Structure 1
Amino acid sequence: MINLRLPLVTAAIAASLALPVAAETRVTYKSAKTASSYYQMGVQIAEAMKAGSEGDIIVTVEESQGSVQNVMEVRARGGDYVFTTPPVLVKLAQAGKAMFDGKGDPAFDEIRALFPIPSLTMHFVMSEDSGVTDFAGMEGKTILLGKGSFGAREGEKYLGLFGLEGKVEIADVELSGAVPALKNGQIDGFVTAGSWPAPNVIEAAASTGVRVLSLSDEEIAATKRAKLVIPAGTYTGQTEDIVTTSLPVAAFTTTKMDDDTAYALTKTFWESKAQMGADAAWWNGVDQALMANITGKIHPGAQRYYAEAGIELTDAQK
């Protein structure tokens, strides 16, 4: 006897196998070089997104050569692209200025912010043995600036602003060698920019003893950067707050990303931040106050989360 139901059952099984096993959103997160703290942050965000979404959001972290590259790649990327950069670079890209001169593209106008991440924070780190307590005291000392990084460029700018150009010896050592060079007396200090607490400053403070210089309000105004306070006790031997400057950084995507994904990424980030802060202290410096540093537009999906959370946005961010 022929089983007339068998073809129907077979067809039903085939149809079920053709369906996706689970609804899964995949995102590429591009931040910085693998050795940097910002790459480590990307890994933490990827882990937080997977855990916070119960596996619905899978983030792949890509190495980057820097913020300019991250912005430039917007031209060829799709709706799954998330990247980090200072908001000021987005503004320059959209205006076709500075490093984006002659490289303008309509895709830059579609860049939208999601959430802030730890700022690039300037550290002027001097050994205790140097006796340096302010910028004037750096005259005649040997300072490591590093090469090609934001911190190196910013550090050189500050030396010029504060009358130290040509009055300090610049060490020809890579920033990766700063702590050993400080330990053996090759240098009196080094300049570094990154999240705080900075791993190389933690190491230097614990092993050698250092003083991280503070800037006066007048000096901060001259730099035209945002003021940032590193609380006392952040580094070994630090008994007072460190007043310094920072360059805000945020996570961005484009209008190609759908609203639901942008909403989920933003919501999961903020809801996971406390746990990320327990694992790595640099997240503890990120709070709602940093939203003011996002000078451009915020993705509509992210705006939905901020409205729900009662976080007010400026007209320029909407």
Structure 2
Amino acid sequence: MKTLFRTTVAAAALATLAGTFASAETRITYKSAKVGSSYYQMGVELAEAMKAGTDGEITVTIEESQGSVQNVMEAKARGGDYVFTTPPALVGLAQAGKAMFEDKGDPAFAEIRALFPIPSLTMHFVMSADSGITDLTGMDGKTILLGKGSFGATEGEKYLELFGLTDKVTIADAELSNAVAALKNGQIDGFVTAGSWPAPNVIEAAASTPVTILSLTEAQIAETKRTTLTIPAGTYAGQDTDIVTTSLPVVAYTTTAMDDDTAYQLTKTFWDSKAKLGGSSPWWNGVDEALMGTIEGQIHPGAVRYYTEAGVALTDAQK
């Protein structure tokens, strides 16, 4: 009787233990952008993909961010459950203690490691068809809305200066959220915006009024020192040809505090889920293996394991 009792108790304990392991989950905090932005929505979509792709073994909590600099800064105080997004160039600046990270350096920045690329920040120069503008030089004498405080606004100002248009263009004093209505009403000739493609505000503009989305020449792109990106024909209403423009790559990062198995599973699940993600939100279709070349610095060892298994070539600097 005592033997039977001990056996029963042992079996129950094993069952409880097995249930504990079966229900164990890895919790990740994903910090990307402001609520309402396309990058915040991407985070929501990634969280859903991770949960579905791992049968609930990985759950992702989305945390609002005020921007990429904040994301990088927090890497020095977060643990192994922290994933964040930022352009690779900012990681390099943080590790070198330069620019916005001057006098804010920390040894923890050296422990930042990449996982996988996400949709790039892509420059869109959206002009009304009535304006007759077909290239950047045609913006001379026109009214353009840049918005304020965003990457697109800063980058747009930079391009106007690079191409000698600063004093030749009237900058509309309005928020980017008003761009589509202002374009439709003829209050502006065009607007500049940056985001993943297809960009929601560009979709809206092209659907409501005839627009021309400008391409940059090879020489102009070289002068910007940004990455070339091609938006395929048909992405926006009335767009019959490819758009050649510039982009700023964006990558999902963590630190060496994350264990290799978790980094592996996150990376594998992302790539396994990408086709399904793209079916729901086309901006994921802009992510492919070619973007791996935009990752500067080291990739997490767990992610390296996945890329090795998948036959993805990595540089020596990335390993």
TM-score range, shorter chain: over 0.9
In the alignment, which residue of structure 1 is the partner of 2:291? 290
In the alignment, which residue of structure 1 is the partner of 2:307? 306
Separation in 1 of the partners of 2:307 and 2:211? 40
Matched, 1:44 2:45: yes
* TM-fit CA distance, 1:180: 1.0
Query: What code does the residue aligned with 2:126 have?
Result: V
1:99-138 residue pairs with structure 2 within 5 A?
99-138=100-139
* TM-fit CA distance, 1:171: 1.0
TM-score by length of 2: 0.95
Secondary structure class of the residue paired with 1:302: helix
Secondary structure class of the residue paired with 2:266: helix
Secondary structure class of the residue paired with 1:304: helix
* TM-fit CA distance, 1:142: 1.0
Query: What code does the residue aligned with 2:244 have?
Result: V
Shift of the 139–259 alpha-carbon distance from structure 1 to 2, 3 Å rule, reads same
Query: What code does the residue aligned with 1:190 have?
Result: F
TM-score by length of 1: 0.95
Secondary structure class of the residue paired with 1:163: coil
In the alignment, which residue of structure 1 is the partner of 2:280? 279
Separation in 1 of the partners of 2:171 and 2:263? 45
* TM-fit CA distance, 1:5: 7.1
In the alignment, which residue of structure 2 is the partner of 1:98? 99
Separation in 1 of the partners of 2:258 and 2:33? 21
* TM-fit CA distance, 1:202: 0.5
Query: What code does the residue aligned with 1:102 have?
Result: D
Query: What code does the residue aligned with 1:108 have?
Result: F
Query: What code does the residue aligned with 1:120 have?
Result: L
In the alignment, which residue of structure 1 is the partner of 2:192? 191
Secondary structure class of the residue paired with 1:245: strand
* TM-fit CA distance, 1:26: 0.6
Instruction: Provide Cα deviations, 1:112-170, integer angstroms capped at 9, x if missing partner.
Output: 00000111000011111111111111111111111111111000000000000121111
Query: What code does the residue aligned with 2:232 have?
Result: P
* TM-fit CA distance, 1:269: 0.3
* TM-fit CA distance, 1:201: 0.3
**Higher mean Cα deviation, 14-23 or 209-218?**
14-23
In the alignment, which residue of structure 2 is the partner of 1:252? 253
Give % identity.
Answer: 74
In the alignment, which residue of structure 1 is the partner of 2:82? 81
**Higher mean Cα deviation, 264-273 or 165-174?**
165-174
In the alignment, which residue of structure 1 is the partner of 2:225? 224
Instruction: Provide Cα deviations, 1:221-250, integer angstroms capped at 9, x if missing partner.
Output: 100000111111111001111110000011
* TM-fit CA distance, 1:192: 0.4
* TM-fit CA distance, 1:15: 8.4
Separation in 2 of the partners of 1:276 and 1:214? 27
1:49-88 residue pairs with structure 2 within 5 A?
49-88=50-89
Query: What code does the residue aligned with 1:297 have?
Result: Q
* TM-fit CA distance, 1:278: 0.5
In the alignment, which residue of structure 1 is the partner of 2:152? 151
Separation in 1 of the partners of 2:104 and 2:32? 21
* TM-fit CA distance, 1:3: 8.1
Secondary structure class of the residue paired with 1:267: helix
1:159-178 residue pairs with structure 2 within 5 A?
159-178=160-179
Separation in 1 of the partners of 2:77 and 2:187? 45
Aligned residues between the structures? 317
* TM-fit CA distance, 1:4: 9.5
Instruction: Provide Cα deviations, 1:252-293, integer angstroms capped at 9, x if missing partner.
Output: 000000000000000000000000000011111111000000
Secondary structure class of the residue paired with 1:125: strand
**Cα RMSD for the two superposed structures:** 1.8
* TM-fit CA distance, 1:7: 8.8
Separation in 2 of the partners of 1:155 and 1:4? 79
Secondary structure class of the residue paired with 1:211: strand
Instruction: Provide Cα deviations, 1:49-75, integer angstroms capped at 9, x if missing partner.
Output: 011101101011111111111000101
Query: What code does the residue aligned with 1:300 have?
Result: P
